[in-house]
Structure 1
Amino acid sequence: MFKFTGTSKEKFFYHNTLLCLVKSLEGKNITLDLRNDSTICGLVTAVDGYMNISLSNAVFVDPQENEYAFETLFVQARNIRYVHIPETMPIIPTINKELSKTRMKAPEKKPIEKSRKAKKALQRHMETVALLE
């Protein structure tokens, strides 16, 4: 089972925003639109808990339509305007699948051991109830 690692803030973002959807894009080719009207296409290699994205075999297209190829490229989340989700990817099932990877089973509850004092009080109570009948 996959366990999301990171700070508590990163875990909060993962479980309470659409970061889990972006994280599910690891290993897929996507297109990113940046805030400065640039575009990046490439293979997602990693997404961290703040939605910073690492791409490999990336092509950066600036606003003047000049293309630059990069073997690896890191994009900070604050520079991302849009993440294009592939049309073949169903969004809701993908989110459910990604979140189910990280769900942890609740630990089994052990019966609570009563103290001697509590056991003795219960015994006295039971004796009192028996006398009432």
Structure 2
Amino acid sequence: MFIGTSREKFFYHNTLLCLVKSLQDKNITVDLRNDSYVCGQLIQVDGYMNLSFSKAVYCDRRGNEYYFENLFLQARNLRYVHIPENVSILGNIKNEFKKANKKDNDKDDKPILKSRKAKKALQQHMKTVASLEN
């Protein structure tokens, strides 16, 4: 289950934050708004898409490289997150939600009752995801 404020949970479930979170412990490249980029091992992603790297290389516009043992990037400075070619985007999103649902199922809380409108929207989303697989 994703831990954070209700706003962070909303972002996790309604944006591609779950895809970026699935890239934790992998080497990725991130383009920044000032036309520089960072390469390194993604250690942590929070609910606002702030990123923490280890063993990162920051490369500025002029091509100068700076090495950092730990580096933190605020979400507002991000332009693009490059997804590695060997990563299945839909597979990673599904696995991330399976992990979240598995942890949710471990709880002994009462099930949450959903309205008909929410159930219908969920069914529509699932049909859309199923059509993307084909």
* TM tier, smaller: 0.7 to 0.9
For 1:61-72, list aligned pairs within 5 A.
61-72=59-70
Taking only the aligned residue pairs, the percentage that are identical comes to 61
Superposed displacement of residue 100, structure 1: 1.2
2:28 match? 30
Distance 1:34 1:108 in 2: 43
TM-score (norm 2): 0.76
Superposed displacement of residue 107, structure 1: 5.5
1:44 match? 42
Report which of the two has the higher share of helix. 2
1:60 match? 58
Q: How many corresponding residue pairs? A: 107
Superposed displacement of residue 98, structure 1: 0.3
TM-score (norm 1): 0.77
Gaps spanning 5+ residues in structure 2: where?
Answer: 112-134
Gaps spanning 5+ residues in structure 1: where?
Answer: 110-133
2:127 match? none
Structure 1 residue runs of 4 or more that deviate by more than 6 Å after TM superposition: none
Aligned alpha-carbon RMSD (Å): 1.4
For 1:111-122, list aligned pairs within 5 A.
none
